[in-house]
Amino acid sequence: MQAPPVPIKTERPRVVVIGCGFGGIEAVRKLSKAPVDITLIDRTNHHLFQPLLYQVATAGLPAPAISGPIRHILRHEIQRGNLTVLLGEVMDIDARARCVVLDGQEHVPYDALIVATGATHSYFGHDGWAAYAPGLKTLADAFDIRRRLLTAFERAEREGAESPVRQSWLTFAVVGAGPTGVEMAGTMAEIAYHTLPREFHRIDSRQARVVLIEGAQRVLGAFPEDLSAKAHEQLRTLGVEVLTGARVTHIDAQGLSYETTAADGSVEKQVLPARTVIWAAGVAASPLGRALANSTGCTLDRAGRVVVEPDLSVPGHPEIQVVGDLAAAKSYPPKGEPTAVPGVSPGAKQMGRTAAANILRRLKGEPTQRFRYIDYGSLATIGRRRAVMMIEVPVLGHVKASGFLAWLFWLFVHIYFLIGFRNRMVVFMDWAWAYFTSQRHARVVPDPMPSKRSP
Ligand SMILES: Cc1cc2nc3c(=O)[nH]c(=O)nc-3n(C[C@H](O)[C@H](O)[C@H](O)COP(=O)(O)OP(=O)(O)OC[C@H]3O[C@@H](n4cnc5c(N)ncnc54)[C@H](O)[C@@H]3O)c2cc1C
């Protein structure tokens, strides 16, 4: 008979990392070379490259091209012997007892903790809209959006030519014109105007409307005004109707309502019948921020992010670090005032590395270091051959570009940063094929008509 497994006794410090996104994975990689025992906990079994999630939602790439099993990605670290990966959802953090509470009530103790659970959607207090206007954050969201998008054309094909409902199935609204909203709207227009024509008999997919609705006065508000204007123009040439200064007031299964304010201050209310609405407007921090606040008394900002110390630790708890989209962190350059760190993947990766380095410094009795964010610039794609970019080039400083050149650069960067050689090859081949054929491969929807649910 085999003897029961003997628990391995260890005197090494226990570091728990919650979340295997951009921040968590970088922290684990850095920690795994040190004499510590790491437990990485994630509620999914995969690491996800969110910047290309819209490609899965719009049937351009299959899910495995932009994601990979955590156990495989970190297999070398696991084989090194000091990394344990647990699939589970962290429900709470007990800062006094120094343990995290998993679903099923398992308690995982820590000497040092990194919380890297990212962000989720915010509907600005209208959570009921979520059923009609899904946001894009996880693979499950991407599959849901892909199903809604593709089946909308099928539903339109089933409606009679005179049916008033047909056009509402052919109207696609995207709320929020940040990078995700812009790339979703641009790609949806490409599907309607370039991928699907000639595949339907009763409808002409080119009669679809793609409407991008933004509350602010311009698209891509984080970019300089000239690049916003160029992005707006590129969306227009793709056939996207862009509504700026339009505030969405209601969303249901039939479509949405919005308000615009005229120059004389009068408010005009409009209704847009649209059976497919995508929410790309609001971001809220992971609920674990609230759990940390309850446990440690730390402050949360308006988006629910944890206000951290300059070294990314929670005030009064140097053993807890918060990184990535969950952290309201500042960057401390050698000269000048500290600046807020944006919620982007390079920020999360850099914070993950700094948090890990600070844990190792504390273990050696050395002082921790303040976080410094290196900004390499911003990129947003709008569709085939269309993008805008603003990057930092040594010696040259800010370099701005739009159109084909920016799009090529965007392609290169996104392929380069994908994890794994196979993913890079798959994405490169699929994009090359799509470029020459306008086709999108990942259009198979396993469950096109879930009973009684609006697609
Ligand atoms: C659609 C989309 C497009 C984007 N495009 C870009 C882009 O082009 N460029 C760019 O720089 N940034 C982009 N971003 C932002 C970027 O992806 C984030 O800034 C980055 O992912 C933040 O990293 P993170 O580690 O904080 O969180 P995430 O990468 O979101 O990882 C969080 C991890 O925590 C896990 N988790 C969450 N809660 C729990 C829990 N309770 N228990 C256990 N595990 C949990 C999740 O499963 C996930 O694996 C985009 C984001 C989205 C959603």
- Asked whether residue 199 carries a pLDDT value surpassing 70, the answer given is yes
φ, ψ for residue 120 (rounded to 5)? -135, -175
3-state secondary structure of 322: strand
118 CA to middle of ligand 1, Å? 5
Short-list 398, 364, 191, 371, CA closest to 276: 191
Q: What are the structural domains of the chain?
A: 14-43+88-121+284-363 (3.50.50.60), 127-280 (3.50.50.100)
pLDDT of residue 1: 43
For position 2, what pLDDT does the model report?
46
Which three-class secondary structure state does DSSP give residue 108?
A: strand
- Percent above pLDDT 70 for the chain: 97
Mean pLDDT of all residues belonging to the chain: 94
pLDDT at 186 over 80: yes
SS3 state of residue 268:
strand
For 160, how many CA atoms within 13 A lie in the half-sphere containing its CB? 3
Centre of ligand 1 from the C-alpha of residue 50, in Å: 6
pLDDT reported for residue 449: 80
pLDDT confidence tier of residue 451, bands split at 50, 70 and 90: low
Instruction: Give catalytic status of residue 183 as yes or no.
Output: yes
Of 77, 183, 190, 214, catalytic: 183
pLDDT, tens only, 363-394? 999 999 999 999 999 999 999 899 999 998 88
Question: What is the distance between the alpha carbons of residues 20 and 140, in angstroms, rounded to a whole number?
Answer: 17
Within 159-289, strands assigned E span: 171-175, 209-213, 240-243, 246-252, 255-261, 267-273, 276-279, 283-285
Atom of ligand 1 nearest to the CA of 102: 42
For 243-260, how does the pLDDT look when each residue is reduced to its tens digit (9 = 90+)? 999 999 999 999 999 999
46-48 and 67-69: which strand pairing?
antiparallel
Give the tokens for residue 158: 């089933």
CA 272, 125, 244, 59 torsion-angle sign: negative
Place of tokens 């919650």: 18
Confidence (pLDDT) at 6: 45
- Collapsing DSSP to helix, strand or coil, 149 comes out as helix
CA of 48 to the centre of ligand 1 (A): 8
Give me the amino acid identity at 440: R
Residue with tokens 């209601």: 250
Which ligand 1 atom sits closest to the C-alpha of 280?
Answer: 1
Pairing, β 37-42 against β 14-18: parallel
Distances (CA, A) of 449 to 56, 152, 191, 422, 445: 19, 10, 20, 33, 9
Give the model's pLDDT for residue 452: 52
pLDDT greater than 70 at residue 346: yes
CB 423 within 8 A of CB 68: yes
By most ligand atoms within 8 Å of CB, the mutation choice from 117, 290, 350 for ligand 1 is 117
Q: How far apart are CA 17 and CA 47, in angstroms?
A: 14
Mutation pick for ligand 1 pocket among 344, 389, 413 (CB with most ligand atoms within 8 Å): 344
Pocket of ligand 1 (CB under 6 A): 18-24, 41-44, 50-51, 53-54, 89-90, 116-118, 136-137, 179-180, 286, 288, 324-326, 343-346, 348
Q: How confident is residue 8, by pLDDT bands cut at 50, 70 and 90?
A: very low
How much distance in Å is there from the Cα of 119 to the middle of ligand 1?
A: 6
pLDDT on residue 222: 93
The predicted structure's pLDDT at residue 438: 86
Pair 382, 182: CB distance under 8 Å: yes
Q: Going by CA atoms, what residue is nearest to atom 19 of ligand 1?
A: 344
Q: How far apart are CA 275 and CA 148, in angstroms?
A: 9
Q: What is the pTM of this model?
A: 0.94
The protein residue whose alpha carbon is closest to atom 29 in ligand 1 is 21
How many angstroms does the Cα of residue 147 sit away from the middle of ligand 1? 22
Taking only the tens place, the pLDDT of each residue in 61-115 is: 999 999 999 999 999 999 999 999 999 999 999 999 999 999 988 999 999 999 9
Question: Angle at the Cα of 382 (from 412 to 58), degrees rounded to 5?
Answer: 90
pLDDT at residue 25 greater than cutoff 90: yes
As given in the structure block, the two tokens for residue 29 are 């990689």
Atom of ligand 1 nearest to the CA of 138: 53
What average pLDDT score do residues 189-213 get? 96
Residue type at 234 in one-letter notation? Q
The confidence score (pLDDT) of residue 11 equals 79
